[in-house]
Structure 1
Amino acid sequence: MFRTLVSLKLRTAILSLMTLLSLYTPLLSAQEKTKFDPALAPFIVEVDKRPLRSRTNMRTVLPGKTVNIKIKQDKAGEFSVSSGMQNLKLSAGGHVSWTAPVKPGYYPIRIVRNKDKAQVDLQVFVLRPANQVVKGKLNGYQIGSYPKALKGLESYQPPKGFIEVTPELEKVLVSPHFKLGQFLCKQQGGYPKYLLLNPALLEKLEMLLNAVNDKGVRADSFVVMSGYRTPYYNKAIGNVTNSRHIYGGAADIFIDVNPVNDYMDDINRDGAANIKDAEYLYAIADKLASHNKHSELMGGVGLYDKNSAHGPFVHVDVRGTPARWGHK
C-alpha cells in the first residue's frame, strides 16, 4: 500500500513537471531553436578590388560607371554571372565588368558556382546624382545642405548621389541580416525616399551580430533605431553638424527579440533590461575596434541611456578612426 502511494505520488509529480514543461515549450522562439547563420560567402569574389565577405552584399554606383568583378581561382565554365535576365560575359580569368545604366534604381547581380549552385548576391543600386538636388530637395524629398568636409577629410565629403527608395525596395536584403528599409531616415515624407548607406557599415554590423550570437545572445538582426539622417532632419533634431549619420556610415542599435517591445532586451541575463545591457553590447562592439587589415571598418562606439523618447542603445560607425564615448 505504501509503495503504491509513493508510486502514485511520483507519477503525479512527473506528470505535473511534464505539463509545466509543455507550457513553456511554445515560448521557445524559432530563433532559439535554430543556430545563427553568419551567411559568409562560399567562394572569393572581389568588387572593385574589395572582397565580398557575405552571401549578400551591397554596392552603389553612379549612372554610366563600371563595376568590376573578379572571381578568384576561376576555371572556364566554373561560374556564371547574371543581372536580371541578362547573362554577363565572364573571362577565363574570372573577370566581368558591368556598366551601370542611366536610370537610377536597383540592379541585382548574382554569381553562381555551377557545380553546387552556391551563390553570392551583389545588390547594386544606381544612384540618383546629387547634382539633381534643387534648393535642398530631391524630387520633393527634403535633403538639406551638406556641410563642408570636416578638416578636409575624404570620409566627410558631400555625397555624389543617393539611393532612391520605393516601398518595394525597403524589403531588399542589403546584407544577410539587414534590409534597406531599416536604414531610412525617420523624417516625414512620401516616396521616393532617398538614402545613403556605406557598405562598410553593413559589414561591421554583420560582424557585430555574429559576435553577439557567439556570446549566446540569439538575434537575427539589430533594431536600427537611427540609420541615415538627411542634413535637414539631423539639424531639426539638434544633432552635431558633421554627424556620421548624414553620410550613411552610422547606426544606433539595440537588440529586441524576447519580448519584442521596442526596448533593449536583458542580454546580460541579470533579470532586468536597462543600461547594463547596452553596456554589454558596447563591450562587444568595442572589442571589434582592431580590424587588422580592415581599416575601412574602424570607427566610433557610443553608449546611450534611456530617456523619455527611447530605451538604452549603442551607436556604431565607420568613420575610419577609433572614437569612444558614453562609457564610464
Structure 2
Amino acid sequence: MNLLVTGAAGFIGSAYVRALLAADAPDAPRITVLDKLTYAGTLTNLPVGHPRLGFVRGDIADAGLVDKLMADADQVVHFAAESHVDRSIDAAGEFVRTNVVGTQTLLDAALRHGVGPFVHISTDEVYGSIESGSWPETHPLAPNSPYSASKASADLLALAHHRTHGLDVRVTRCSNNYGPHQFPEKVVPLFVTNLLDGLRVPLYGDGRNVRDWLHVDDHCRGIELVRAKGRPGEVYNIGGGTELSNRDLTGLLLQACGAGWDRVDHVPDRKGHDLRYSVDWSKARDELGYRPRRDFTTALAETIAWYRDHRAWWQPLKQRGAR
C-alpha cells in the first residue's frame, strides 16, 4: 500500500511517519512525503534513506505535482499547513493559500484518482473558545483567528467532498501538541530553548488562557486509528486530557529549567486570543479505542530533556525562523 503524507517534514507529520516506519509489519505501507520545506520543516526530522520512505519537495497547491503523486497513492494523510496563529494575524494570505487552496488541490486529485481514505488533520481551534465543558464533533465551527478560519474552511471543503462526491474523507481535530522535534516558535519549545539560552519568555496577558495538552505520540496513535478504523465522512476529536492555563504551564517550564518568574515578560495579549479549548474525545474512545497513554508530568520532563540534549537541532531552526 502506498501512503502519501503531506507536510511530514514538520513536527506532527514527521512523528507520524517515524512511528509507521518503526512498525515494520509485513503490510507496512510505503510512504511518500510531500513537503515544501518552509521555515518550519526540516529533513532532519525524517529518517531519509529508509527503504520504505520517499521524499518529494513541493507545494500542495501545485496541481500538476499533486496529480502525479496522487496517481501512485492509495491513501492520504494530510498534515501540511501553515499553523502559527501569530503569523496568521500578521499576514493571512499564505494561510489561505496553503490551508484552503492546497487542501482543495489535494482533494480534487484524490477524487480524480479514487484515493481513500483521505485523513485530514485539523485542530480544536476551529471550534473557537469555550468557557466550560468540552466540544463534541457536532459543535458548530466558530474560529477566531485567520489560522483557525483557514483550517475550518479546509475542514468544510474536505467534508463537502465526502457528501457531494462520496470521497472517503476522515477529519481529526486535536488539542495542543507537545513533544520532541516541535519548531521553536510554539510555546513549549520556545520557552524551553529561551530559558536554556538564558533569555526571557513572553507570557500573553494574564496567562489565564487554558489549553488541553496532548503528547505528539498519543496524537499520532489517534490518527492511525482513524486511518485504519474510522468511518468515512466522520470527524474525530483527539485530546490529551491535561488542561492547564498558560500561566501554570509557564510555572512548570520555569521550574524544570531552574529559572524564576523574573525571566518572564508579561506582554500585551494576542488579538482575538481564545480563552479556553477543550475537546470531548469520547467518540474516538468508544468507536476506535483511543486513549492518551503518555503521563503529562513524565512526558513534559522527557520533552524538556530532549531539547536540552538536541541544541544542534533547534539552534539553526530558531535562527532560520526568526521574524
The TM-score, its normalising length taken from structure 1, stands at 0.25
Which structure ranks higher in relative contact order (CA pairs < 8 Å, sequence separation ≥ 6)? 2
Q: Which has the larger radius of gyration?
A: 1
Q: Which has the higher strand share?
A: 1
The TM-score, its normalising length taken from structure 2, stands at 0.25
